[in-house]
């Protein structure tokens, strides 16, 4: 439950231009709301406030993860040496088909807990684990039980059905578009209001928006809009896998670009497409780990920002890397510094990009990208209390001369003392609140073992041939 909290003596990185960075600063939280920010605050009825001493600590907005397939928690480390084709083969064509609805619940629940532990207070769940209506219900419940702020984007992608999988082959064969109607059911029964301040909201994710033709892509986006989706998200212009569809250009020509669209990856967008994205209020999500590893191009975030676009950061898949925004900020920043330094004729004499730029993308940039710039993303009075307290006591965080650099280049999850989401304390003194992690961990391990066991029944060579054909089509070589 949310309550009244008085955070005292912190270094506050507000990410609010009107407030800036404030030393020896207090933050007041009343119910769900940040009510005041400033030095030496004295609340009325002070005895009602729980005091948190944040001396030698940094208070900052919670991180906003704008692209995540949260269900993949049980598949951690499997893709760490994979490119995109191998990911499609193993994760999207075999393991995904092996998930029961309970597995989908645990993937989302534990994936959200991992996020909270790492200071991520909001995520876009691009959820393509809709193996049945029960999977949809379970995935939503996993997010809600973890108490994370999120948009659950109902994914139309159909994991393949094969003997021994968790798929219903009759449903997939006889009613291949059943997910359209089920998405409507989920929206109407589980997300009746879908307001910006709701903790978990409904969104939509087309099957693979660039793998289908333009007409099918339009159909799926328009259907998502007909449901009143908070966000519609899809993978676009993925570097080496870009088949020259120019979806953004076609959408602009058809007047379909709008602020409810959040495109992921986007490394090969052309200048005219980036200009259209900026003009129409579309947002972009960069996922540095997967993009650099899997051949999806150099992360577009800084280029997009230079064109006036809203740039944000996502984790993507924990089958490849942890749900750690610190890691993504560092990789994005240093990759961009390298790119720009080596584009110069001689040696660089000053840094090309600052830590503050990437911290803004991970917080306020993300809030703008998901349409919540007035709700979260900064330590601003009147906004929802989604914030983290990072201690500066560890060997790597002592001393701190530049708190922004400390967060971007030094901190990790073990330094995060406290996390608030919507004014509720969900991590405190370094521990998740109200979570019996040893018991949950045991069930997660059992779930993972069951998924791996089912996967052994997959007709591997047959699936591999289909994936190779698909990836050639993605690359325009079919």
pLDDT 10s digits, 195-209: 999 999 999 999 988
Q: How many CB atoms lie within 10 A of CB 176?
A: 10
C-beta separation of 91 from 72 below 8 A: yes
DSSP 461: H
| Cα–Cα distance, 100 to 74 (Å, whole number) | 12
Average pLDDT taken over every residue of the chain? 96
For the range 165-171, what are the long-range contacts, defined as Cβ-Cβ under 8 Å and sequence gap of 24 or more? 165/97, 165/98, 165/454, 165/457, 165/458, 166/97, 166/98, 166/99, 166/100, 166/103, 166/131, 166/132, 166/454, 167/97, 167/131, 168/132, 171/132
Q: How far apart are CA 30 and CA 47, in angstroms?
A: 13
């951690």: which residue's tokens?
76
Mean pLDDT of the 302-325 span: 97
Q: What is the CATH number of domain 3-61+379-432?
A: 2.30.40.10
How far, in Å, CA of 361 to CA of 34, rounded?
A: 21
pLDDT band of residue 474 (cuts 50, 70, 90) is low
**pLDDT tens digits for 153-166?**
999 999 999 999 99
| Helix, strand, or coil (residue 462) | helix
Q: How far apart are CA 273 and CA 236, in angstroms?
A: 11
Q: What tokens does 80 get?
A: 């760490």
3-state secondary structure of 334: helix
Average pLDDT for 256-262 = 98
Q: How does residue 289 score in pLDDT terms, banded at 50, 70 and 90?
A: very high
Residue percentage of the chain with pLDDT more than 70: 99
Q: Which fold has domain 63-370?
A: TIM Barrel (3.20.20)
Report the distance separating Cα 141 and Cα 105, nearest Å: 7
The pTM of the full predicted model, rounded to 2 decimals, is 0.97
Q: CA nearest 203: which of 296, 70, 97, 98?
A: 70
Question: Is the model's pLDDT at 358 over the cut of 70?
Answer: yes
Sequence-ordered alpha helix ranges (H) in 47-126: 84-87, 101-117
Numbered ranges of CATH 2.30.40.10 in the chain: 3-61+379-432
Alpha-carbon distance 114 to 322, whole Å? Answer: 8
Domain with CATH 3.20.20.140 in the chain: 63-370
Of 61, 58, 59, 93, the C-alpha closest to 79 is 93
Q: 476 pLDDT band (50/70/90 cuts)?
A: low
């Amino acid at each position: 439950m949310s309550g009244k909290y008085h955070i005292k003596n912190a270094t506050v990185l507000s990410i609010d231009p009107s407030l800036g960075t404030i030393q020896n600063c207090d933050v007041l939280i009343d119910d769900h709301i940040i009510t005041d920010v400033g030095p030496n605050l004295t609340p009325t009825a002070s005895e009602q406030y729980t005091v948190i001493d944040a001396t030698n600590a940094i208070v900052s907005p919670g991180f906003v993860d704008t692209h995540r397939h949260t269900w993949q928690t049980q598949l951690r480390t499997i893709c760490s040496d994979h490119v995109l084709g191998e990911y499609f083969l193993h994760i999207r064509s075999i393991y995904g088909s092996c998930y029961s609805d309970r597995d989908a619940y645990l993937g989302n629940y534990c994936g959200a807990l991992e996020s909270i532990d790492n200071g991520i207070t909001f995520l876009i769940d691009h959820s393509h684990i809709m193996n049945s209506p029960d999977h949809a219900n379970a995935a939503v419940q996993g997010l809600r039980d973890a108490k994370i702020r999120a948009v659950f984007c109902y994914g139309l992608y159909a994991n393949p059905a094969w003997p021994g999988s968790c798929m219903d082959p009759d449903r997939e064969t006889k009613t291949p578009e059943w997910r359209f109607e089920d998405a409507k059911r989920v929206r109407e029964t589980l997300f009746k209001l879908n307001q910006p301040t709701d903790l978990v909201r409904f969104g939509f994710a087309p099957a693979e928006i660039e793998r289908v033709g333009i007409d099918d892509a339009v159909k799926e986006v328009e259907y998502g809009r007909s449901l009143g989706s908070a966000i519609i998200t899809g993978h676009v212009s993925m570097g080496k896998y870009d088949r020259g569809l120019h979806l953004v250009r076609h959408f602009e020509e058809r007047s379909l670009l709008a602020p409810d669209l959040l495109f992921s990856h986007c490394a090969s967008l052309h200048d005219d497409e980036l200009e259209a994205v900026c003009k129409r209020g579309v947002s972009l999500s960069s996922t540095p780990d997967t993009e650099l590893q899997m051949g999806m191009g150099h992360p577009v975030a800084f280029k997009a920002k230079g064109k006036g676009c809203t740039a944000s950061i996502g984790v993507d898949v924990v089958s490849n890397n942890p749900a750690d925004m610190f890691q993504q900020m560092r990789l994005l920043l240093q990759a961009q510094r390298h790119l720009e330094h080596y584009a110069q004729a001689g040696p660089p004499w000053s840094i090309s990009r600052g830590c503050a730029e990437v911290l803004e993308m991970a917080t306020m940039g993300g809030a703008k990208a998901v349409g919540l710039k007035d709700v979260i993303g900064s330590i601003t009075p009147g906004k929802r209390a989604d914030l983290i307290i990072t201690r500066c006591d560890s060997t790597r965080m002592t001393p701190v001369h530049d708190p922004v650099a400390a967060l971007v280049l030094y901190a990790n999850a073990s330094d995060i003392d406290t996390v608030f989401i919507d004014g509720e304390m969900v991590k405190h003194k370094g521990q998740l609140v109200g979570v019996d992690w040893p018991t949950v961990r045991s069930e997660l391990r059992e779930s993972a073992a069951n998924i791996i066991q089912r996967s052994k029944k997959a007709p591997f060579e047959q699936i591999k041939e289909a994936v190779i054909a698909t990836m050639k089509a993605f690359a325009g070589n079919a």
